[in-house]
Structure 1
Amino acid sequence: MKADTGMGWLLLAIAIVLEVSGTISMKFSESFTRWLPSVLMFLFYGASFTCLNFAMGYLQVSVVYAVWSGVGIVLIALFGYFVFQEKMPLSSLLWIGVIVAGVIGLNISSKGHG
C-alpha cells in the first residue's frame, strides 16, 4: 500500500460516482433497448472498476470494497426513491442504516490494523 491515503479516498469517491452512474445508465437502458445508456453503462462500470483498482493501491481492500458497495447501495436507493419514484418502506431505511453503520464500523476498526 502506498502512503498517500488521500489519493486513495479520491479514487474511491470517483469510483463510487462512476458506479452509481453505471447503475443509473442501466436503468435508463431499459434492458439494452436504448443504445446510448447501454454503452454508457459499460463505460461507467469499466472506469469505476479501474478507479477501484487504483484505490486499492492506497487503501485496504476490505475498506475499499465495503465503502464502494455500501455507499453505492445507499446512493442508488436514494436515487431510486427521489428520481424514479420507487417505494421505500420504513424497513428499507432501517437496513440502509445497517449498511451505513457497517461501512463506518469497518472503516473505524481498520484504522487500528493498518
Structure 2
Amino acid sequence: MAYLYLLAAIALEIAGTFCLKLSNGFANPVPTFLVFVFYGLMNVPFILALASLPLSVVYAIWSGVGLMAAAALGFAYFEEPITTARVVFLGITFTGVVGLAVSLQHSA
C-alpha cells in the first residue's frame, strides 16, 4: 500500500510541476492556483508512504521519478530539445531510482 501512496504523491507532484510551467510566472491564474492545490495534496500520500518506507528511499524515488517525468513533459509537451547528455543523465537517474528500490527489497 505504501507504494500506491508514493505513486499518488508522484502523480500529484508531476501535475503541480506541469502547472508551474503553465502558470507562466504567475501570469495565468488557474494553473497558478492549481500549483498550490497539487503540491498541497501531494503531501498527504507522501506522508502516508513515509509511515512504512524509509525516508531516503521514498524521497529518492519521489524526486527521481518526478524529475524524469518533468523531463518527459518538457520534451513532449513543451518541445524542449532532447540531447544526448540529457538522455544519459536521465538514464543515470533512472538507474539510481531502480537501485534504491531494489536495495529496499533486499534489506527487508
Q: TM-score, normalised on structure 2?
A: 0.95
Give the Cα–Cα distance (whole angstroms) in 1 for the partners of residues 103 and 12 of structure 2: 27
Runs of 5+ unmatched residues, structure 2: none
Give the Cα–Cα distance (whole angstroms) in 2 for the partners of residues 13 and 112 of structure 1: 21
Q: Could you say which residue in structure 2 is the equivalent of 1:77?
A: 71
Give the Cα–Cα distance (whole angstroms) in 1 for the partners of residues 36 and 52 of structure 2: 25
Give the Cα–Cα distance (whole angstroms) in 1 for the partners of residues 63 and 44 of structure 2: 15
How well do the aligned residues superpose, as a CA RMSD in angstroms? 0.9
* CA-CA distance at 1:108 after TM superposition: 1.3
* CA-CA distance at 1:9 after TM superposition: 0.5
> Hey, which bits of structure 1, 4+ residues long, moved more than 4 A?
none
From 37, 41, 44, the counterpart of 2:35: 41
Q: Does 1:18 align with 2:12?
A: yes
Q: Does 1:9 align with 2:3?
A: yes
Aligned residue pairs total 108
Q: Could you say which residue in structure 2 is the equivalent of 1:112?
A: 106
Q: Could you say which residue in structure 2 is the equivalent of 1:92?
A: 86
Runs of 5+ unmatched residues, structure 1: 1-6
Q: Matched residues, percent identical?
A: 37
Give the Cα–Cα distance (whole angstroms) in 2 for the partners of residues 89 and 76 of structure 1: 15
Give the Cα–Cα distance (whole angstroms) in 1 for the partners of residues 8 and 97 of structure 2: 17
* CA-CA distance at 1:110 after TM superposition: 2.1
